[in-house]
Amino acid sequence: MPTYAGAMAKKKLLLDCDPGLDDALALLLAHSDPDLDLVAVTTVGGNVALDHTTRNALELREFLGFTDVPVAAGAAGPLVRETKNAAEVHGPGGIGDVILPRAKLPVDSRGAVDLIIETLRNSPGEINLVATGPLTNIALALRKEPRIIEWAASFVIMGGSFTRGNTTPAAEFNIYADPEAAAEVFAAGWHVVMVGLDLTLQALVTDAIRERMLALGALGRDLVVPLATFWNDPQDPDWGGQAVHDVCAVAFVSRPDLFSSVPARVEVEVAGQWTAGMTVTDFRSSRPNALVPVTLDVDGFWDYVLERYARAAA
Ligand code: RIB
Ligand code: CA
């Protein structure tokens, strides 16, 4: 497919995810942004069990209409630790109280690891690899085929943080769920764009944003708002709304201009009794392995996301 002078070539992405309220909103953005081409989806156990995250991805594929995109299931749990989940946040089914029609199309027979490797190998330098769940599938793909670090156009994760955790005081959920996988991923030799909590907690669904989501009509009322407002942290007296963490990772691929980012060296703690899963971030290192978005153009982000959602609603 030729790209014409001046026309922005679509950016291709593979999304490895654990839907998940915000993973579902990230899939909607990846599908509805005309500057993005979602070429494959892989699932991992995380927010809820793999059978639920995979069912959610399959049902979202048919409900939103990206039925030409393969969906492959991956690891049910972490490399070595006990499986954890975040069902208290995402609901037992993983997408809150949203009920979607049962999927008719099957999961891809290749499995997540082989789909990731094959997709990247067939289009070297073209596919942006985005991970918004625990990094188990990515670590397993790297073990099987280390060259994916050369084939990926970029590698963007929602995960980690450089100041605080959300699952423990030190660790963010995606890293905490599989610290060994995250350590292997950050040490693989590529540059990881680490879209962490310090960034994503700027992307809050405030009452004003919720009103703009409702203006999307049925899509807003029946899908976007229920996904974006299901969780309300009773322990947080300063609750300002649910953060659309994973949407920020997909947004970075399409609109990196909405983010200001700093290089850093990130090491993942795997031995700490209290700090396992902490992404120890050194902004002064002369050996950076990560790019860390630190500031979000919040108004620009929501204008971009809601304009894309409006296209899906139309
Ligand atoms: O800590 C937030 C991350 O954990 C998001 O990806 C959310 O979906 C959960 O997986
Ligand atoms: Ca997620």
**pLDDT value at 298 more than 60:** yes
Question: Would the CB of 277 count as within 6 Å of ligand 1?
Answer: no
**pLDDT value at 44 more than 70:** yes
What value does the mean pLDDT take over residues 105-120? 98
20 closest CA partner among 128, 106, 131, 109: 131
Tell me, in angstroms, the distance from the centre of ligand 1 to residue 22's CA.
7
- Distance from the Cα of residue 118 to its chain's centroid: 20
The helix or strand, by DSSP H or E, that contains position 116, with its residue range, turns out to be helix 111-122
What percentage of the chain carries pLDDT values higher than 70?
98
The answer to whether residue 271 sits within a structural domain is yes
Tell me the CA distances in angstroms from 29 to 22, 220, 238, 244, 285, one per residue in order: 10, 13, 28, 11, 34
pLDDT at 7: 62
Residue 235 banded pLDDT, cuts 50, 70, 90 = confident
The answer to whether residue 4 sits within a structural domain is no
pLDDT at 109: 97
Residue 232 banded pLDDT, cuts 50, 70, 90 = confident
The answer to whether residue 25 sits within a structural domain is yes
CATH number at residue 73: 3.90.245.10
Ligand 1 pocket, mutate which of 53, 85, 173, 204 (most atoms under 8 A from CB)? 173
The answer to whether residue 143 sits within a structural domain is yes
- Distance from the Cα of residue 94 to its chain's centroid: 14
pLDDT at 246: 98
* DSSP code, position 42: E
pLDDT at 1: 52
**pLDDT value at 4 more than 80:** no
Looking at the structure of the chain, the number of domains it has is 1
Question: Would the CB of 242 count as within 6 Å of ligand 1?
Answer: no
Residue 160 banded pLDDT, cuts 50, 70, 90 = very high
State the average pLDDT for the chain. 96
**pLDDT value at 3 more than 80:** no
Residues of the domain holding 112: 11-313
**pLDDT value at 151 more than 80:** yes
pLDDT at 159: 98
pLDDT at 239: 87
Residue 99 banded pLDDT, cuts 50, 70, 90 = very high
What value does the mean pLDDT take over residues 278-290? 98
pLDDT at 184: 98
**Which listed ligand is nearest to 173 at the C-alpha?**
1
The answer to whether residue 2 sits within a structural domain is no
Q: Report the nearest atom of ligand 1 relative to the CA of 22.
A: 8
The answer to whether residue 3 sits within a structural domain is no
Residue 9 banded pLDDT, cuts 50, 70, 90 = confident
**Which listed ligand is nearest to 16 at the C-alpha?**
2
What value does the mean pLDDT take over residues 161-188? 98
| CB-count burial class (<10 Å; 0-12, 13-18, 19+) for 108 | middle
* Distance in angstroms (rounded) separating the CA atoms of residues 12 and 30: 9
The answer to whether residue 151 sits within a structural domain is yes
Tell me, in angstroms, the distance from the centre of ligand 1 to residue 274's CA.
20
Tell me, in angstroms, the distance from the centre of ligand 2 to residue 1's CA.
32
Kindly list the catalytic residues: 245
* Distance in angstroms (rounded) separating the CA atoms of residues 4 and 1: 10
The answer to whether residue 294 sits within a structural domain is yes
What value does the mean pLDDT take over residues 246-263? 98
**pLDDT value at 8 more than 90:** no
Tell me the CA distances in angstroms from 196 to 161, 281, 291, 311, one per residue in order: 4, 11, 11, 28
